[in-house]
């Protein structure tokens, strides 16, 4: 596998930011009330992630080491503001649904984490692919959680898109799934399911990743040091 | 006064920052293994969020609005928070080493706690603006920040208490680690739903 494809595989499967690394939990749980919202959040984050990886990688020899974190934050915050204004102008439905969580992409630990752990050490080309891989991994995870929550909690499929469908009238939606507790429940069950698959696959080998104990989430040091 | 108390209760219990708004989940899941560390984290968060709500509101009302630069709010707020955390850290180190020791490594971690940025942005969204409501607006912002942080502390301390107990339980293999913590959070969120009729 060439190293560009390897970055994609790494982001989507091996180090999936949501299911394996447990990064960026806030948007993951907050906006996934439907598959459409999850996908919108995932793609917005991906755009920011790819461009910030590109810029930070290109600037990696210019930014002094001591002030690198503030510099990264300014780059990310500017990109997020641009994305926020674009969504507000062109996809107002999504803007209303995501609300506060669009500006909060700034503090999504995935973005600062990748900047610190990958983009600041590698070439712009590889960094873009790293961003793409992580972004896809994040989008897939969010869409997946949103899909289940929407299906069980509202009895609809892919509402908000041209492919909208709904379950038969006889189905009584379990509305707790689109409310706050449902988010925790669905994520817990998905991770437990993946763990169970993993255990079956690898015997009793412990699941990799930081186990949800990323005390320094977003600070990125803790997670990335443990990983490297 | 009554309005301020309502804001406090609503921010701390009804719209609990962690369990119903999903902000600050990383420290909530990461630093909740022991009640003692969870309580220090909570204290640090109360400290920082209360101060940054006040400072960010002032900056928004008297600089950004005056210059018509409201669209720069995200960039300005995150920088203000980062600088403020550093300042608070230096100030505490000089003036009260005891408290500084207690808060320890948790202070710098707060910069990227999304609850801080979230509250500050919320204050603007809820229109606690000086232009409309004068000094009352500032009081509301600070109260909203304080209430949110208290809510965070309540949630993280309860979570740590539960986790200390489940650490010795026999949990099915696939549920060990993150899933059982998320399930606990799920049950807590259901419990906090009970507060929704309060206001």
Of A154 and B152, which is predicted with more confidence? B152
CB contact under 8 A, B112 and A193: no
Mapping DSSP onto H, E and C, the string for chain A reads: CCHHHHHHHHHHHHCCCCCCCCCCHHHHHHCCCCHHHHHHHHHHHHHHHHHHHHHHHHCCCCCCHHHHHHHHHHHHHHHHHHHHHHHHHHCHHHHHHHHHHCHHHHHCHHHHHHHHHHHCCCCHHHHHHHHHHHHHHHHHHHHHHHHHHHHHHCCEECCCCCCCEECCCCCCCCHHHCCHHHHHHHHHHHHHHHHHHHHHHHCCCCCCCCCCCCCCCCCCHHHHHHHC
pLDDT at A18 over 50: yes
Q: What's the rounded mean pLDDT across residues B62-80? A: 85
**Per-residue confidence band for A50, with pLDDT thresholds at 50, 70 and 90:** very high
Joined tokens for residue A131: 């961003």
pLDDT at A223 over 80: no
CB contact under 8 A, A30 and B21: yes
Question: Which residues, listed in sequence order, are joined to residue A165 by a DSSP beta bridge?
Answer: A157
**Per-residue confidence band for B93, with pLDDT thresholds at 50, 70 and 90:** confident
Residue B99: what pLDDT? Answer: 74
Write the CA distances from A157 to A144, A149, A187, A189, B76, integer angstroms. 12, 10, 18, 20, 39
Joined tokens for residue B85: 């955390």
Show the CA angle centred on residue A183, arms to residues A48 and A49, nearest 5°. Answer: 10
Residue A221: what pLDDT? Answer: 42
pLDDT at A69 over 70: yes
pLDDT at B111 over 60: yes
Q: How many CB atoms lie within 10 A of CB B66?
A: 10
Joined tokens for residue A39: 């996908």
Joined tokens for residue B9: 């209760």
In sequence order, which residues have a C-beta less than 8 Å from that of residue A53 and are 6 or more positions away?
Answer: A114, A115, A118, A119, A127, A128, A130, A131
pLDDT at B127 over 80: no
pLDDT at A226 over 70: no
Of B184 and A168, which is predicted with more confidence? B184
Q: Please state the ipTM of this predicted complex.
A: 0.83
Residue at token pair 């995870």: A141
**Per-residue confidence band for B104, with pLDDT thresholds at 50, 70 and 90:** low
**Per-residue confidence band for A203, with pLDDT thresholds at 50, 70 and 90:** low
pLDDT at B188 over 60: yes
pLDDT at B155 over 70: yes
Q: What pTM was estimated for this model as a whole? A: 0.81
CB contact under 8 A, B29 and A103: no
CA dihedral sign of residues B65, B67, B69, B74: negative
Q: What's the rounded mean pLDDT across residues B129-136? A: 71
pLDDT at A75 over 80: yes
Write the CA distances from A191 to A1, A19, A79, A175, A209, integer angstroms. 27, 6, 31, 22, 12
Q: How close A214 gets to chain B, by Cα (Å)? A: 5
CB contact under 8 A, B175 and A22: no
Which of 179-208 (A) contact B at CB < 8 A?
179-185, 187-189, 191-193, 195-196, 199, 204, 207
Instruction: Compute the radius of gyration of chain B from its Cα atoms.
Output: 18
pLDDT at B142 over 70: yes
Residue B44: what pLDDT? Answer: 81
**Local structure of residue B88 (DSSP, 8 states):** H
pLDDT at A123 over 80: yes
CB contact under 8 A, A181 and B118: no
**Per-residue confidence band for A196, with pLDDT thresholds at 50, 70 and 90:** confident
CB contact under 8 A, A212 and B29: yes
In sequence order, which residues have a C-beta less than 8 Å from that of residue A184 and are 6 or more positions away?
Answer: A29, B182, B183, B185, B186, B189
Q: Please tell me the distance from the alpha carbon of residue B102 to that of residue B105, in angstroms, as a whole number.
A: 9
Cβ burial of A137 (10 Å; 0-12, 13-18, 19+) is buried
Nearest C-alpha neighbor of A140 from the set A47, A39, A50: A39
CA dihedral sign of residues B76, B81, B87, B90: negative
Q: Please tell me the distance from the alpha carbon of residue B195 to that of residue B197, in angstroms, as a whole number.
A: 6
Contacts of B181 in chain A (CB under 8 A): 212
CB contact under 8 A, B186 and A70: no
pLDDT at A216 over 80: no
Q: How close A192 gets to chain B, by Cα (Å)? A: 5
% of chain A with per-residue pLDDT over 90: 7
Q: Which residue does chain B place closest to A102, by CA atoms?
A: B74
pLDDT at A220 over 60: no
Q: What's the rounded mean pLDDT across residues A49-57? A: 90
Write the CA distances from A200 to A153, A220, B5, B172, integer angstroms. 30, 31, 53, 14
Q: Please tell me the distance from the alpha carbon of residue A111 to that of residue B198, in angstroms, as a whole number.
A: 38
Cβ burial of B60 (10 Å; 0-12, 13-18, 19+) is buried
Which of 54-83 (A) contact B at CB < 8 A?
70, 73-74, 77-78, 80-81
pLDDT at B121 over 80: yes
Q: Please tell me the distance from the alpha carbon of residue A42 to that of residue B177, in angstroms, as a whole number.
A: 25
Instruction: Compute the radius of gyration of chain A from its Cα atoms.
Output: 18
Angle between helical axes of B114-125 and B35-59 (0-180°, round to 10) = 40
- Mean residue pLDDT across chain A: 80
Write the CA distances from A77 to A82, A227, B5, integer angstroms. 9, 26, 34
């Amino acid at each position: 596998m060439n190293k560009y494809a390897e970055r994609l595989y790494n982001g989507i499967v091996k180090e999936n930011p949501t299911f394996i690394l447990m990064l960026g939990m806030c948007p993951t749980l907050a906006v996934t009330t439907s598959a459409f919202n999850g996908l919108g959040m995932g793609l917005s984050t991906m755009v920011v992630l790819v461009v910030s990886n590109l810029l930070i990688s290109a600037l990696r020899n210019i930014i002094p080491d001591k002030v690198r974190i503030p510099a990264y934050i300014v780059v990310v915050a500017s990109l997020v503001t641009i994305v926020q204004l674009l969504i507000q102008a062109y996809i107002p439905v999504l803007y209303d649904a995501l609300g506060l969580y669009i500006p909060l992409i700034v503090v999504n630990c995935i973005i600062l984490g990748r900047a610190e752990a990958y983009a600041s050490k590698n070439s712009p080309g590889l960094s873009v692919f790293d961003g793409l891989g992580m972004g896809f991994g994040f989008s897939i995870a969010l869409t997946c959680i949103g899909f289940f929550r929407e299906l069980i909690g509202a009895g609809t499929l892919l509402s908000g898109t041209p492919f909208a469908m709904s379950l038969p009238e006889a189905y009584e939606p379990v509305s707790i799934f689109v409310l706050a507790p449902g988010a925790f429940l669905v994520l817990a069950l998905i991770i437990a399911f993946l763990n169970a698959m993993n255990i079956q696959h690898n015997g009793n080998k412990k699941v990799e990743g930081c186990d949800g104990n990323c005390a320094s989430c977003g600070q990125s040091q803790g997670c990335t040091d443990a990983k490297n | 006064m009554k309005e301020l108390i309502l804001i406090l209760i609503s921010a701390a219990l009804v719209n609990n920052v962690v369990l119903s708004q999903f902000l600050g989940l990383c420290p909530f899941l990461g630093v909740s293994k022991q009640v003692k560390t969870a309580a220090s984290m909570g204290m640090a968060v109360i400290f920082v969020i209360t101060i940054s709500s006040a400072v960010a509101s002032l900056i928004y009302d008297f600089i950004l609005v005056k210059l018509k630069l409201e669209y720069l709010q995200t960039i300005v707020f995150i920088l203000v928070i980062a600088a403020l955390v550093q300042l608070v850290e230096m100030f505490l180190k000089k003036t009260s080493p005891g408290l500084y020791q207690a808060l320890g490594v948790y202070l710098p971690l707060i910069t990227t706690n999304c609850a801080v940025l979230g509250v500050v942005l919320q204050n603007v969204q809820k229109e606690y603006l000086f232009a409309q409501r004068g000094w009352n607006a500032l009081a509301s912002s600070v109260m909203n920040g304080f209430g949110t942080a208290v809510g965070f502390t309540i949630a993280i301390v309860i979570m740590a208490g539960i986790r200390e107990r489940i650490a010795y339980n026999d949990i099915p293999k696939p549920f060990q680690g993150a899933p059982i913590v998320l399930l606990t959070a799920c049950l807590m969120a259901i419990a906090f739903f009970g507060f929704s009729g309060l206001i």
